[in-house]
Structure 1
Amino acid sequence: MASRKRPKTLSHGRPPVLGPREHMSSQKSRTIIRTHHRLEKQRATALKNGDAESAEAIAKAIEENGGLKLYQAASKQGQSKDRGGDSSKVLVEWLKQDHVLQNTPKDTGIEKLRCLEVGALSTKNEISKIGEQIVMTRIDLNSQGSGITKQDFMERPLPKHPDDLFDIISLSLVLNYVPEAAQRGSMLKRVTKFLRTSDQPAQTDSSILPALFLVLPLPCVQNSRYLDEQLLLRIMANMGFDLTKKRLTPKLCYYLFTLKEKTESVKTEKRKVRDGPSMNNFCIIVE
């Protein structure tokens, strides 16, 4: 019997992000980012197919395009444009709307809420400024900064104690960097294991906690052959999530899902929901 192919690590997808050493135009940063993504996707496909020769050639092309170092600089430079800026501003706004966060926090003696930010880029984003009310845990595949732990979320030890659970998990522009569709489904299922349950309540009676903050590039939902919003919401509902907040911009879609119950996820296979010559192939498979 042939051995089962080991799934790629998440490092095949989203690379680390470092601060740029020099300013570059938004057009230049977009070109660098798009080219790097295209080449990395081609390399991941070659690796999946066992084509080492093509993978090596593509890796060489990536280096000729400036490599990871230039990509990192472009990603950081383009954060306010290409990556939609500080997406946690939307999360903070929603938490305040539901009175999870107070505009003028007071020391009430109540235990702080806990938030896990996967793919963290900064310790100075909006959610990190709420230190009086939220304890932040930040992880990234290739963290280069203090305050952000280098860790693959898929390899993070499962909670063994209530203190290992979170009230909020942020996956902002993370799922789209996961290299394979089935791994995206696995990541979403794994999120449910790290969120509090009804018998481990949050430190607030808010109806939107425990919550998953999910941000995706708009084309992943509005211009994919294999995923639309209806299917995305059905996948999330099968995992026990209810949609409580939503916002669409010209580039991004923001969702806040509340985990109502932990369920055995219904399988979701890859199938076309629409088609067109300019559509992408972003997909989520739940096994």
Structure 2
Amino acid sequence: MVSKKPTRPKSLSSGRPPTVKSSRSMSRKASRTLINTHHQLDKQRRQAATKGDKGTEARITAEIEQLGGIDHYQKASLQGQSLDRGGDTSKVLLEWLPMADLKKHGQPLKMLEVGSLSTRNACSTSGVFDMQHIDLNSQEPGIKQQDFMDRPLPKDESETFDIISLSLVLNFVPEADGRGQMLLRTLSFLRKESDTPMGTAEDLFPSLFVVLPRSCVDNSRYFTDARFDELMTILGYARMKTKMTQKLAYSLWRRVGSTRTRLPSFTKKEINPGRTRNNFVMTLKGSAIRPA
């Protein structure tokens, strides 16, 4: 997707390969191999695009298409939720929430799930959320095909959410600044802190649920869990919950309603040198105006 404005971060679709339909089921080994191969090829494709090497970019894109494109990758990811990813990631969020209190509350929480793969995950079937699912390549009728970065801003508070889920989404955004811009944009879609108090549950909302590959925060040259805290503090989030598994890093962040009106830049800097480390990082350009 071509940006209309030079300063606008690339659409999420810039980090995702073309869609090729496939109905083939996969074994655990095949699913894991496809996911790993896709990530490697996608990284090489983005590097070629950054260098302006159109020939290499086209060749790698063709290789990704031969693997089945984003549709086949998403099918592998769905199987991976129960195989390689340790289960449905939204189950961790439910473990953190005071479910008994939320079920007693008359009105369900409004939740936006970005990068949704299924309408049947734990949060969707819990009975405590009024869900909206979006993804670049919808796999089900209940998932709206939409790029979060192109989603129209809320017209009023009725179109905001109590919680937003970014589960294994940020790592697919093609540029470091684009990841920061996505986090910044979530503030525009969350309700204000003082609205709709919920008793014992109010200490966790409005909030943002983030899941990243663990290697993004513990094996990067430029990014760590501590740096993630720094970035989220700049944005006005406070970490409420965290969990590390062998493959994933889970975190729940509450919007704390900072009065900051100017956002400082959050830049890329080498923290952990090493040949075996990856280059994942999130950055943020300074901004004079903070989202409402």
TM-score by length of structure 1 reads 0.88
CA apart distance, 1:207: 0.7
Which residue among 59, 78, 97 is the counterpart of 2:61? 59
Q: Aligned partners of 1:59 and 1:172: how far apart in 2?
A: 25
Tell me if structure 1 keeps the 8 A contact 2:193–2:205: no
Is 1:256 aligned with 2:249?
A: no
Structure 2 CA distance for aligned equivalents of residues 160 and 65 of structure 1: 41
Superposition pairs of residues 7-156 of structure 1, within 5 angstroms: 7-14=9-16, 21-96=23-98, 101-102=99-100, 105-106=103-104, 110-131=106-127, 133-156=128-151
Which of 167, 170, 181 pairs up with 1:172?
167
Matching residue's letter, 2:180: G
Matching residue within 169, 183, 186 for 2:181: 186
Mapped partners of 1:19, 1:77: distance in 2: 17
Q: Aligned partners of 2:153, 2:257: CA distance in 1, in Å?
A: 18
Instruction: Please give the alpha-carbon distance, in whole angstroms, between the structure 1 residues aligned to 2:196 and 2:156.
Output: 13
State the identity %.
46
Structure 2 unpaired stretches of 5+: 286-292
2:172 aligned with 1:207: no
In the alignment, the residues of structure 2 paired with residue 204 and residue 15 of structure 1 have an alpha-carbon distance, to the nearest angstrom, of 44
Q: Any stretches of 5+ residues in structure 1 without a counterpart? A: none
Q: What code does the residue aligned with 2:15 have?
A: G
Quick check: 1:16–1:142 contact (8 Å CA) kept in 2? no
Amino acid at match of 2:263: S
Cα distance in 1 between the residues matched to 2:30 and 2:215? 21
Q: Match of 1:245?
A: 241
Separation (CA, whole Å) in 2 of partners of 1:192 and 1:214? 14
CA contact (8 A) 1:19 1:77 kept: no
Q: Which amino acid aligns with 1:156?
A: R
Conserved 8 A contact 1:113-1:203 = no
CA contact (8 A) 2:16 2:70 kept: no
* CA deviations over 1:185-206 (Å, ceiling 9, x no partner): 0000001111111343455552
Cα distance change on mapping 1:61 and 1:17 into 2, 3 Å: closer
Distance 2:244 2:263 in 1: 26
The 8 Å contact of residues 19 and 76 in structure 1, kept in 2 or not, is answered as: no
Q: Comparing 13-22 with 112-121, which one deviates more in the overlay? A: 13-22
Equivalent residue, structure 2, for 1:275: 273
Aligned length in residues: 278
- Measure the CA separation in 2 of the matches of 1:17 and 1:87: 24
User: Which moves more between the two structures, 135-144 or 45-54?
Assistant: 45-54
Q: CA separation in 1, counterparts of 2:26 and 2:153?
A: 41
Q: Could you tell me how far 1:134 is from its partner in structure 2?
A: 1.8
CA gap of 1:129–1:120, structure 2 versus 1, over 3 A, is: same
Deviation at 1:60, TM superposition (A): 2.3
C-alpha RMSD over aligned residues: 2.4
Equivalent in the alignment of 2:216: 220
Alignment CA distance shift 1:43-1:104 (3 Å) = closer
